[in-house]
Amino acid sequence: MTERQKYQVLQTYEGFELRKYDACVVAQVIIQDEYKAAATKAFRHLFNYISKGNAGSASIAMTAPVIALTESSLESEQWKVHFVMPAGSSLAQMPLPNASQVELIEIPAENCVAISFRGRATKRLSERKEDVLRLAAQRAHFSLSQETRICRFDPPFKPGFLQYNEIVIPTK
């Protein structure tokens, strides 16, 4: 089974969870394009990185989710796409990327609100779920960052109605 990004649920609210995500290392690609095309283009670069790493290095295990994020709204045309490295990875132990598009970054532990949903994580469905999450978090008096993460857990060939996804937004 594919390893998932580590977090603990701090509290469950009506319609969403407050989670504490562990610090992690991610491989990131920034793509200027519409959501679907950006996710596809970035995935190729990131998959090549974990498959080939750097000369002489072993491949890196695939983890879930694949995260597409934007820092303004889902209307943005600039997307950061992340592969989360296996739990316990440090920046120092990761192989350097061969491709200039791939950057390794450390993300500190953080609290986020999250909502899960089934279906293909299209831009339209993701926007609707983001709106639901932001409204529910506002009602619970959370202050949220502008960043929105679309977290996809399943491969694209899995039937859409079976796909599991989440919208995750860091708290301020």
CA nearest neighbour of 62 among 40, 86, 97, 95: 86
| 19, containing H or E segment | strand 16-21
Strands 148-152 and 164-170: what pairing? antiparallel
Please tell me the predicted confidence (pLDDT) of residue 57.
67
List the domain range (segments joined by +) for residue 112: 3-170
Query: Are the beta carbons of 7 and 50 closer than 8 angstroms?
Result: no
Structural domain count, the chain: 1
CB 28 within 8 A of CB 69: no
Predicted TM-score of the model (pTM): 0.92
What is the CATH classification number for the domain harbouring 34? 3.20.80.10
Contact 55, 114 (CB under 8 A): no
φ, ψ of residue 134 in degrees (nearest 5): -60, -40
Q: Which residue's structure tokens are 């989670």? A: 19
| Of 70, 60, 65, nearest in space to 33 by CA | 70
Cα 148 to Cα 74: distance, rounded to the nearest angstrom: 7
Instruction: List the pLDDT tens digit at each of the 172 positions of the chain.
Output: 689 999 999 999 999 999 999 999 999 999 988 888 888 899 999 999 998 755 556 788 889 999 999 876 666 678 999 999 999 999 998 998 888 999 999 999 999 999 999 999 998 999 999 999 999 999 999 999 999 999 999 988 999 999 999 999 999 9
Residues 6+ apart with CB under 8 A from 164: 116, 118, 153, 154
How far from the centroid of its chain's Cα atoms is residue 148's Cα? Answer: 9
> For position 87, what pLDDT does the model report?
92
| Helix (H) / strand (E) containing 38 | helix 35-52
- Rounded Cα distance between 40 and 34, Å, is 10
